[in-house]
Amino acid sequence: MKIFAAQLATETNTFAPCPTGWGGFQENGIFRGDASIRAPESVGYLMAELRRLARSDGNEIAEGLSAEAQPSGPVIREVYETLRDEIIAGVRAALPLDAVVLMLHGAMVAQNYDDCEGDLLACIREVVGPEVPIAATLDPHCHFTELMHSAANILIAYKEYPHTDAIERLREVYRLVTQAAEGKVAPVTAVHDCRMVGAWHTTSEPMAGFVRRMQSFEGRDGILSVSLGHGFPWGDVPEAGAKLWVIADGDPARAGTLANQLGNEFWEMRQAVRPKWYDMDHGLDAALAVGVGPVVLADVADNPGGGAPGDSTFILRRVIERCIPDVAVGCLWDLGAIQICADAGVGATLDLRIGGKCGVASGDPIDLRVTVRAVHDTHSQSLGGMSIPLGRSVWVEGPNGLDIVLVSVRTQVIGVDAFTGIGVAMDAKRLVIVKSTQHFHAEFAPRAKAVLHVAAPGALTPDFAKLPYRRRSLKYWPRVENPFG
Q: pLDDT (tens digit, 9 = 90+) per residue, 148-187?
A: 999 999 999 999 999 999 999 999 999 999 999 999 999 9
The answer, yes or no, to whether residue 111 has pLDDT greater than 90, is yes
**Predicted pLDDT of residue 305:** 93
User: Model confidence over 129-141: pLDDT tens digits?
Assistant: 999 999 999 999 9
Identify any residues that bridge with 137 across adjacent strands, giving them in sequence order: 103, 156
Length of the chain, please? 485
User: Model confidence over 397-441: pLDDT tens digits?
Assistant: 999 999 999 999 999 999 999 999 999 999 999 999 999 999 999
- Please tell me whether residue 146 adopts helix, strand or coil conformation: helix
**Predicted pLDDT of residue 37:** 97
**Predicted pLDDT of residue 18:** 85
Please name the amino acid found at residue 59.
N
Question: What are the structural domain ranges in the chain?
Answer: 2-268, 277-461
Q: Residue 117: how many CA atoms within 13 Å on its side-chain side? A: 31
- Please tell me whether residue 331 adopts helix, strand or coil conformation: strand
User: Model confidence over 232-290: pLDDT tens digits?
Assistant: 999 999 999 999 999 999 999 999 999 999 999 999 999 999 888 999 999 999 999 99
The answer, yes or no, to whether residue 192 has pLDDT greater than 90, is yes
Residue 152 CB contacts under 8 Å (≥ 6 apart), including other chains: 121, 125, 134, 135, 136
Q: Burial, 221: exposed, middle or buried (Cβ in 10 Å; 0-12, 13-18, 19+)?
A: exposed
Task: Count helices and strands (H / E) in the chain.
Answer: 14, 18
Percent of the chain residues past pLDDT 90, beyond the cut? 95
The answer, yes or no, to whether residue 383 has pLDDT greater than 90, is no
**Predicted pLDDT of residue 331:** 97
192, 263 in Cβ contact below 8 A?
Answer: yes
The answer, yes or no, to whether residue 35 has pLDDT greater than 90, is yes
Q: Of 118, 115, 152, which Cα lies nearest the Cα of 136?
A: 152
Cα angle 58, 183, 36 (rounded to 5 degrees) comes to 35
**Predicted pLDDT of residue 240:** 97
**Stretch 361-389: mean pLDDT:** 94
The answer, yes or no, to whether residue 385 has pLDDT greater than 80, is no
**Predicted pLDDT of residue 485:** 85
Identify any residues that bridge with 104 across adjacent strands, giving them in sequence order: 8
Say if strands 450-454 and 295-299 run parallel, antiparallel, or are unpaired.
Answer: parallel
C-alpha 116/C-alpha 145 separation (Å) is: 10
Q: Is the bond leading into 275 cis (omega within 30 degrees of zero)?
A: no
User: Model confidence over 78-103: pLDDT tens digits?
Assistant: 999 999 999 999 999 999 999 999 99
C-alpha 336/C-alpha 169 separation (Å) is: 40
pTM above 0.75, yes or no: yes
**Predicted pLDDT of residue 149:** 98
CATH topology of domain 2-268: Rossmann fold (3.40.50)
**Stretch 62-88: mean pLDDT:** 97
Angle between helices 280-289 and 314-321 (to 10 degrees): 60
**Predicted pLDDT of residue 17:** 79
C-alpha 421/C-alpha 441 separation (Å) is: 18
**Stretch 52-75: mean pLDDT:** 97
Please report which confidence band the pLDDT of residue 384 belongs to, taking 50, 70 and 90 as the band edges. Answer: confident
User: Model confidence over 446-460: pLDDT tens digits?
Assistant: 999 999 999 999 989
The answer, yes or no, to whether residue 462 has pLDDT greater than 90, is no
**Stretch 115-142: mean pLDDT:** 98
Identify any residues that bridge with 155 across adjacent strands, giving them in sequence order: 136
**Predicted pLDDT of residue 461:** 86
**Stretch 347-375: mean pLDDT:** 96
